[in-house]
Chains A and B, each alone.
Chain A
Amino acid sequence: MHEASVDTNDDGALRVTLRGEIDFTNSTEIHKIITDAVSERRPAAVRVDLAGVTFMDSTGIGVLVDAMRVALAAQADFRVENPTRRMLDQLRTTGLLTAFGLE
């Protein structure tokens, strides 16, 4: 199964679902999937679902940061959803909760 899949919600939001381990081995690829999807579909909002993510290293965090930048540059609302407890800890440490709509 792929670590990233892209879908469109009923409300027109671009839904990015990430799974498994997001790290330096796949971050470049996932980064491309998200940037391509945003530039092609021009969504009003981008939602990144982290429910299935078991591990994320610093390059994975970089992917999320860039997804946010790309979304904001395209005037799309950006939010991260369903982080596991561990992911939530990690996003808190990196100071990203507010920017990702998690607090």
Chain B
Amino acid sequence: MMDPLEGYRGRLADLDARLARARSHPEVLLARASGLLAGRTGCRVGEAHAYLVRLAAERRRPVHELAAEVLAALERVPPRGEAGLAATVEAALPSRRGPARHATLPPAPPPTLSPALPPTSPPTSPSAPPSALPSTGPSALPSTGPSALPRRAWVEAVRQVLDALPERHILILPEYDATGQVADYVIAAAAPSVVDLSGRGGAEILGRRMSEIYPSVVGGPIWDAWRETLRDGRPREVGPVPYTSSAERAPAEVLLTVKVWPVGGGLLQSWVRHDEETRLAERIAQTERLGNMGWAEWDLVAGQTRWSAGLYQIYERDPAAGPLPREESEALVLPEDLPVRREAAEAFGRGEAVDATFRIGVAGRVKHVRMVVDAVRDAAGVPVKVYGILQDVTARETSRLRLTEVEEQLREHQRILAAEHELAGRLQQIVLPMPREPIDLPGLRVAVRYLPAEQASRVGGDWYHAAPAGDGAVLLAVGDVAGHGIEAAAAMARLRHALAALSVTTTRDPARLLAALNRLLFAGDPTGPPRGGVPVTATAVVARYEPATGRLVWARAGHPPPLLARAGRTVELDRPGGPLLGAFPDARYSTTSTRMRPGDVLLLYTDGLVEHRRRNLDEGLAPVLAVLDRITAEPAPHPLADLLKQLRHANPDDDTCILAARPLLPGEAR
């Protein structure tokens, strides 16, 4: 049996642990530190929060770490009545590390300040009695009484106040000339968040003269306002007034509104740039335009709807007409897409954020819109305010749909090609059986290899021929019919059978054989190209080897000449003239000859072996030459098998046929 009390204790301990974990969460730490700090200093929690974030940034430390430190310190130090934020944190934290803002301040008031320093009020400043000062705000600080507080301490106190203020404030002190007139102003304190229009921070402008850093202010309306406030002790607001900065990288001219309060013998002033709100609005509008977006806001409590300019554009509606009522905008949704929309509404009802894409009909056109909706809910989870962002994604959707269509067409095309390929493959097997082993012909050993195209649909019209010619000679040939598929395979079959028949019955001369094949192919389509396609052309090389003498005679029809490798050196044989087959009705071909020696290797090939889309033909040929050089450099028992094993085709789109031959040594024939 378990002790019920122990179970209870266990649950308590568990709760405590969970609480401790939650309390050490960075955001919770910051919130607690801000709350405690606000309580101690009497400022708003938001101000304390902002102050801690700023301080952390200044000290280059993670904010939650600083918050934890402040929290621990404040919990140690008992409350001492209300004090400035900075002073409180200062007093609580044991010591400072890292760069601190005050460390960059001059240790004593800058020399320029001394002429303006009290002990006494300015000689010609008759007024500014304490009663004229506002009773609250910065002037509630220790006043200018000659002996009330040393001037330096007073400025320090103002600085602490400025530290705590969220807005941009600076304290300026007048400088008087010999006649008692104000000659200039010096910046005596600046809130840490102050950044002037030239991008200078508070620390950079501290201690400097107005005429020196903001010369365009001198003698202007702001300058006048300062003098007046010094004279009558009344706060003033000037503006909007145009201000031109003399500094580099500053906007040419901006509109400012300046507020000024008398503080002691000096002036506290803040300013607002008028273009800031406009800039923000412009940025939003630009974002909407760039992204084809718009947003809407539904205040469910007040029953109000707001639309941004972008949303009016998507719905092509006049902004003057106001937002579309909900029912009307729903009626624009295409009926097929209503389920999508309904599903989104249900998800929203369950408290989920919605992200749905559907179509609407606007002005006779269909638009694809993506809608992202989220809500602000009350404690019971009931939405109070709903925010929606709509994006017109028509362009994207349209291209996606078109892509799907094209893909479907492509698949259909591939199905047809696959069927064709199968047929072509069978035809090729029937017409052109490839011997696996080298074949021995009179005086010559021959090996052939067919390297099919990588893609199934690319079976082409490459062919070879190797057979005795009938007069003791051997006829070798390799050819390539342009194109792929059934037509190419059929043309290949015609050419190959014709060559075999002609070489036995009509002629054994390579040139005359090619002329005959050309006539055959040209006459093959007397009425023009089949199926409206490109007419069939082909290339071929035909060679005749006479074993008794080792003489090799060859002719070519638009085809690369054979390669001859001898003792580690390979050459491309001469190119007797002759155009490709099927192009000219009366093409003529000529022959050239050479003599082969034992140990030589002859290679006939089709261009898939060397032809590459990104390389020159020379570059494609180089690796083939290198293999041939290597194979024939030293005598080897199986040079042909070695050669065929090492050759790879350059163009994976094209099939390749290679035929290698070498003279048989005496007694070698099987």
Residues of A within 8 A of B (CB): 21, 23-24, 27-28, 31-32, 54-55, 57-59, 61-63, 65-66, 68-69, 85-86, 89-90, 93-96, 99
Contacts and interface: CB of A to CB of B under 8 A. Distances in A.
A66 B535 CA distance: 7
A58 B482 contact: yes
A69 B529 CA distance: 11
B616 interface: yes
A57 B579 contact: no
Contacts of B651: 57
A55 B480 CA distance: 18
Contacts of B654: 57
Contact of B534 (A62, A85, A86, A95): A62
B482 A59 contact: yes
Given A55-B613, A86-B617, A61 B533 contact: no
A55 B620 CA distance: 13
Nearest to A91: B558
A96 B579 contact: yes
B559 interface: yes
Given A93-B575, A94-B558, A96-B579, A31 B534 contact: yes
A86 B587 CA distance: 24
Contacts of B481: 58
* Leading 8 A-B pairs by shortest Cβ distance: A95-B579, A94-B558, A58-B482, A62-B482, A65-B583, A62-B534, A55-B613, A62-B537
Contact of A58 (B533, B539, B587): B539
B483 interface: yes
B532 interface: yes
Interface in B508-556: 529, 532-537, 539
B560 interface: yes
A96 B483 CA distance: 18
A94 to B, nearest CB: 4
B617 A54 contact: no
30 contacts: A21-B613, A27-B483, A28-B533, A28-B534, A31-B529, A31-B533, A57-B482, A57-B611, A57-B654, A58-B480, A58-B481, A58-B483, A58-B607, A59-B534, A61-B482, A61-B558, A62-B482, A62-B535, A62-B536, A65-B582, A65-B583, A86-B617, A89-B617, A93-B558, A93-B560, A94-B558, A95-B579, A95-B580, A96-B558, A99-B579
B617 A90 contact: yes
Contacts of B560: 93
Q: Place the interface of chain B in its size category.
A: 35 or more
Contacts of A68: 583
A48 B381 CA distance: 74
Contacts of B617: 86, 89-90, 93
B584 interface: yes
Contacts of B575: 93
B653 interface: yes
A61 B607 CA distance: 13
B557 interface: yes
A76 B105 CA distance: 91
Contacts of B607: 58
B262 interface: no
Contact of B535 (A65, A85, A93): A65
A62 to B, nearest CB: 4
Given A93-B560, A95-B558, A95-B580, A66 B529 contact: yes
Interface string B126-158: 000000000000000000000000000000000
Contact of A66 (B534, B584, B613, B653): B534
Given A23-B653, A58-B480, A99-B579, 6 more contacts: A57-B651, A59-B482, A59-B483, A59-B534, A66-B534, A93-B560
A86 B535 CA distance: 24
B577 interface: yes
B611 A65 contact: no
Given A23-B653, A96-B580, A99-B579, A61 B537 contact: yes
Given A55-B613, A58-B480, A93-B559, A99 B537 contact: no
Contacts of B537: 58, 61-62, 65
Contacts of B580: 61, 65, 94-96
B310 interface: no
A54 B613 contact: yes
Contacts of A93: 558-560, 575, 617
Contact of A99 (B582, B584, B616): B584
